[in-house]
Amino acid sequence: MRHIAVALGFLAALTGCKVDKLSSRGKTPPAPANGSSLTQRFGSPNKRITARYPADFAASVPPNTNAVILARNLPGGSDEAVSLLPIENPVSHALEEFARIVHNASTGTLHKWQQTSIRRTPCNGMPGVEITGTWVDEKSGGVLFRRACAFVRNRHGYCFGYSAPQGVALEHMPLLQAIVEATEFGD
């Protein structure tokens, strides 16, 4: 899947940043707006982060990381993905600087990336910086919407985001956001 390759490129761009070690702790995830149920759980290898997601997504961990990638195939051959990236030792604990660095690293691998907005907003209950935009899948030529939010929690950095085909992004955003918000942290 293209989104997994993009996530791996993003992780490679952050070489030198140690990926965080998070663990699951029980909490009730928010109910997705589209009626999907977050019945599945997938923890990082080091048990420091647990993703909650519907059964039609597949979870994976890119090699040598603690990041969790959730992806699903869509009709017509496209796909969408959620990436949950914890960074144990961020290069900066200043929110704006951390967000600038992590967003530049993550969008640098996206073909024809066009930023549409940047704003301060809560991310998983913490002050964060959200960036949205579009990019083009080089293989299919399809335009994808991307939302990512960077935040610092207990001196660890996080960038949680998702990409979806632009034609369905508005419809799928409530579910993708619910998956992001349901992430369980171990502090």
Tens digits of residue pLDDT in 74-121: 988 899 999 999 888 899 999 999 999 999 998 999 999 999 999 999
Tens digits of residue pLDDT in 158-180: 899 999 999 999 999 999 999 99
Q: Which CATH superfamily is domain 2-185 in?
A: Mog1/PsbP, alpha/beta/alpha sandwich (3.40.1000.10)
Task: List the chain domain ranges.
Answer: 2-185
The secondary structure of 40-109, three-state, reads EEEECCCCEEEEEECCCCEEECCCCCCCEEEEEECHHHCEEEEEEEEECCCCCCCHHHHHHHHHHHHHCC
